[in-house]
Amino acid sequence: MDENIIKTEYSEIMQKSYIDYAMSVIVARALPDVRDGLKPVQRRTLYDMHELGIRYDRPYRKSARIVGDTMGKYHPHGDASIYDALVVMTQDFKKGLPLVDGHGNFGNIEGDGAAAMRYTEARLQKVTQEGLLADLDKDVVDFVPNFDETEKEPSVLPAKFPNLLVNGSEGIAVGMATSIPPHNLGEVIEATKAYMKNEQISTKELMRYVKGPDFPTGGIVTNKDELLAIYRTGMGKIKIRGKVEIEKARGGRTNVVITEIPYPMIGANISKFLSDIAALSENKKTMDIVDISNQSSKEGIRIVIELKKDADADNFVNMLYKKTRLEDTFGVNMLAICEGKPETMGLKQIIRQNVDFQLQVATRKYNNLLEKEREKREIQEGLIKACNVIDLIIEILRGSKDRTMAKKCLVEGITEGIRFKSKESRIMASQLMFSERQANAILDMRLYKLIGLEIEALIKDHEDTVANIYRYEDILSRRDSMIQVLINDLDTLKKEFSRKRKTLIDNCEEAVYEEKKPEEMELVFLMDRFGYTKTIDPATLERNKEAAYQESRFIFNCKNTGKICIFTNTGQLHTIKVTDIPYGKFRDKGIPIDNISNFSSAKEEIVLVTSQTELNLYRVVFATRQAMLKIVDGGEFDVSKRTVSATKLSEDDELVSVYVLKDKTNIILRTKEGFFLRFPLAEIPEKKKGAVGVRGMKLGAKDWVEEVYYTLNSVDSPVFIQDKELNLNSLKLGKRDTKGSKIKL
């Protein structure tokens, strides 16, 4: 057999394969369908529960049974994804309208996970049965083969309301994500009805009904005026705050009670929120907190913060809004699958798509019902006609040899082979002309149907059937009639399942927090050779002076209102507020400098640590490995950013010395090869921090500056190099940008 080798570019195969994978994730996994608001895993789980008969009015069934059946029949992507979807559909703190009724531990608002599927039970909610799964038996949606073509599953559920808006959705696909907030069922239904009555209605008019998102956790949306633009485009940011109440406590104290939280805070973020509040107190951002307690229960959220007697509660609440997630944002991106492809839609587009879908479903439903009623009418008319000539029918049946002979007589008027009592009966029998469906109904009719009351009931059913046919034809032929039917269904759902709005929509002023300035006090900064740092009071230093200077790499006075400046070998300046550094006892370990600044010990080395106050009073000398020198006014480093560039470095260069210049007159550069150059500091020009500087010394090809010293004229300056003492001021005074002298030690 000849081989057929197809040659193609590897990049083309990779591109095609990745696009196929991406589209599969987008369409078949991560994004909801705009028509029923469900992702495939949710749709399959609900349909499987429907097929298993786990309905709202029947007993709960084990979640493991539901998950296993769904995975085996419709969703072969692992039990975890199915159970996770089932759990989320039960959680009333995540969904505006839970679609599954859970029995057991399905997690809570504080982030505790659900119990294993073998322990929990579930069944459909009534609204799911009536609003999403009703009419599936009426051929209203297309059914498609499952993954192995052994079962059929609906391509979409016949949703009677815009579930995408009511329950919202979140999902991450490939290169795109969806984030749709939940809304109030009653408001969404009213907006849908308004669109049905007037397709030209604007988004602004629709928002008379849909005020904004209605999060199950409540809260306050603070940017009401921005919502119109968000709902027009389907994108934007919704600002939401938790609800706070001020309560009087014993002893004249005040309690700040959080009763509703922002929707993004649900889960583990509640614990983080409590930790953030505690950190505000530990870092002395506020001194007003006496106690924090989380008294939340099944009845709702209740986080109590007890304040000091003289605390400003309103200012404290504003601090929580500014410095914690009590005020947060919900990023809106209303992306869903529309006509087989992902599309970002506004409020009106989503409602339009759902209404168009409802019209398609209703058209199929009433076409099917009409066809069934017409068949029913045909049979009923045949039975009524047969009752009027029942004696003749009985004579035909008694005179026929088999069912086929009798049926031919009833349908085609063929009387051959049938024994009749009279010639007149034969003539009448040849003129009956029933339809085939009518003839079958007559032949299947039981004798009790000939009772008078049964005949009256048959006539009554026929009248009802005719009325139904008239009604269905009217619904199918007139849009107004169809719309009214849909509106009636929506009104029924609203009456039974709508609830009061939980989230308040308003325009709130930005929280303004006046941070109390701490009383200025003198502190001592300590940092050991391992980078652990702390502050102590000067009296503590006096008592432990000898040990402090032995153990500390950097030690200097500072103020609690000031900043600490860290110069690194990469030319960066990192600043830290003194209040961010832990204050304590001399023997306290402290905290790594990496944890409270942008400095990274893995990438940088510290050259100098000093206080901002000292820098403002003096000038600073910079010396690099390649002998580049400059003097910069210390005031240039009084910056607000946490990290800035302190100096410009050439390629492969780094800082070896940063010195705060107070009373020194000379600088000495020592190189790796043992060359020394001493010259006056006055020869180094003052430049801006963004400058490279000037060359201070001529270096050999493989030499570099290893150490820098500073001395005062006429003052002995001994240093130990290789265990030998050298008086730096004994070195010959030279000039900048010379080679210097090699000193043998």
Q: How far apart are CA 164 and CA 336, in angstroms?
A: 9
Short-list 567, 584, 585, CA closest to 576: 567
Contact (CB, 8 A) for 740 and 728 = no
Beta bridge partners of 307: 254, 289
| CA atoms within 13 A of residue 605's CA, in its CB half-sphere | 7
Short-list 453, 408, 416, CA closest to 434: 408
For 15, 251, 366, 408, 523, the CA distances from 579, given in Å and listed in that order, are 53, 31, 73, 103, 11
User: Nearest 5°: phi and psi at 113?
Assistant: -75, 165
**Count of CB atoms within 10 A of residue 179's CB?**
17
For 27, 199, 374, the CA distances from 478, given in Å and listed in that order, are 35, 16, 19
| Residue whose token pair is 């009524």 | 384
Concerning whether 549 is annotated as a catalytic residue, the answer is no
Beta bridge partners of 695: 628
Q: How far apart are CA 113 and CA 268, in angstroms?
A: 10
Number of helical H runs and strand E runs in the chain:
21, 35
Helix orientation angle between 40-52 and 63-73, rounded to the nearest 10 degrees: 110
Q: How far apart are CA 286 and CA 289, in angstroms?
A: 7
**Count of CB atoms within 10 A of residue 145's CB?**
10
Q: How far apart are CA 213 and CA 504, in angstroms?
A: 9
Strands 591-592 and 289-294 turn out to be: unpaired
Contact (CB, 8 A) for 246 and 313 = yes
Contact (CB, 8 A) for 273 and 217 = no
**Catalytic position from the list 18, 21, 119, 549:** 119
Contact (CB, 8 A) for 622 and 647 = yes
**First and final C-alpha spacing in the chain:** 87
What type of residue is 259? T
Helix orientation angle between 40-52 and 79-88, rounded to the nearest 10 degrees: 80
| CA atoms within 13 A of residue 499's CA, in its CB half-sphere | 13
Q: Coil, strand, or helix at residue 428? A: helix
Contact (CB, 8 A) for 396 and 414 = no
Contact (CB, 8 A) for 727 and 717 = yes
Q: Coil, strand, or helix at residue 1? A: coil
What are 281's two structure tokens?
Answer: 């107190």
Contact (CB, 8 A) for 555 and 562 = no
In which element (H, E) is residue 281 found? helix 269-282
DSSP character string of 440-482:
HHHHH--GGGGSHHHHHHHHHHHHHHHHHHHHHHHHHH-HHHH
Beta bridge partners of 711: 666
Q: In sequence order, which residues have a C-beta less than 8 Å from that of residue 467 and are 6 or more positions away?
A: none
Tell me the Ramachandran region of residue 406: left when phi exceeds 0, alpha when psi lies from -120 to 50, beta otherwise: alpha
Q: How far apart are CA 397 and CA 394, in angstroms?
A: 5
Beta bridge partners of 630: 622
DSSP character string of 131-177:
HTSTTGGGT-S-EEE-TTSSSEEESS---SS-HHHHH-EEEE-SS-E
**Residues belonging to the active site:** 119
